[in-house]
Amino acid sequence: MIDIHCHILSGIDDGARSLEDSVELAKAAVNEGIHTIIATPHHKNGRYENPKSVIVEKTAQLNLRLQEEGIPLEVLPGQEPAIHGEILEGIANGEVQTLNGTQYLFIELPSGHVPRYTEKLLFDIQLKGLIPIIVHPERNQEIIEKPDLLYQFIKKGALSQLTASSVNGKFGKKVKSFSEQLIEANLVHFIASDAHNLTNRAFHLESAFDHIENRFGVDIVYLLMENAELLVEGKNVYREIPQHVKRKKFLGIF
């Protein structure tokens, strides 16, 4: 498996604290069947700034250590930039790191709302030849309340990535149910771990795919796994026609 979202680089955000932590995360990833990870440290989220040059250097250091330890895992450079008004400038000056240097770019929204300029910024990013991927939309409070926001973003060319722990119910029943609704509506293109540590934010990728297979069938699992491979290679990923999220009735009430 390929994990396209992981905080495995040490000492630069709220993920691995030390190089030893990174190595332990790498061992756990391999045990779960992961052979490639895109390292995606936070950037410009109000707490952390990790420009491309830092990420590339830290990725090379970690790969060297993994080779020395004989751990069969390859780490590729990526980034999880928070949405902000200067992101286009960051792309232009080489501060922003796309996923493995491809046309794919993560975009992290605030947890509580969707900024008003989001749709225009996603459009402007695409004008630059990049494809924005909205990370963990299932945990955004405004998208949970108004899923048509995500539908419009996807319809207009953006992609989205769910967190494995959301699919597994680690973030609660509400997030798990909403994650399933997004998959059902063809609004999900990737599943990734967003792993930070081995205690409360581990990988859970294998069990997430098992749950998706049981709930939706093996075809969607193949699509999601293959999309991760296509992303790493900079190729076009599979997109199904997006649908509106169908609200479930609870005791006859929406």
What tens digit of pLDDT does each residue of 239-249 get? 999 999 987 64
Q: Which residues contact 248 (CB under 8 A, 6 or more apart)?
A: 177, 181
Per-residue pLDDT tens for 31-53?
A: 999 999 999 999 999 899 999 99
For residue 3, the surrounding DSSP H or E stretch is strand 2-6
Could you tell me if 148 and 245 are in contact, meaning their C-beta atoms sit under 8 angstroms apart? yes
182-206 residues labelled b (16+ CB within 10 A) or e (exposed): bbebbbbbbbbbbbbbeeebbbbbe
Q: Which residues contact 172 (CB under 8 A, 6 or more apart)?
A: none
Q: Check residue 197 and give its pLDDT.
A: 94
Per-residue pLDDT tens for 176-188?
A: 999 999 999 999 9
Which backbone phi and psi does 63 adopt, to 5 degrees? Answer: -60, -40
Per-residue pLDDT tens for 114-152?
A: 999 999 999 999 999 999 999 999 999 999 999 999 999
Q: pLDDT grade, residue 251 (50/70/90)?
A: very low
Per-residue pLDDT tens for 154-163?
A: 999 999 999 9
Q: What is the mean pLDDT of residues 164-178?
A: 96
Strand partners, 76: 38
Q: Check residue 248 and give its pLDDT.
A: 62
Total-model pTM: 0.96
| Domain ranges across the chain | 2-232
* Residue 251: Cβ within 10 Å count: 4
Residue with tokens 């796994």: 225
Integer Cα distance of 15 and 194 in angstroms: 9
User: In a 3-state reduction of DSSP, which class is residue 50?
Assistant: coil
Which backbone phi and psi does 217 adopt, to 5 degrees? Answer: 100, 165
Q: What is the mean pLDDT of residues 169-180?
A: 96
Q: Which fold has domain 2-232?
A: TIM Barrel (3.20.20)
Which backbone phi and psi does 8 adopt, to 5 degrees? Answer: -90, -20
Q: What share of the chain is helix, strand, coil (3-state, %, to 5)?
A: 45, 15, 40
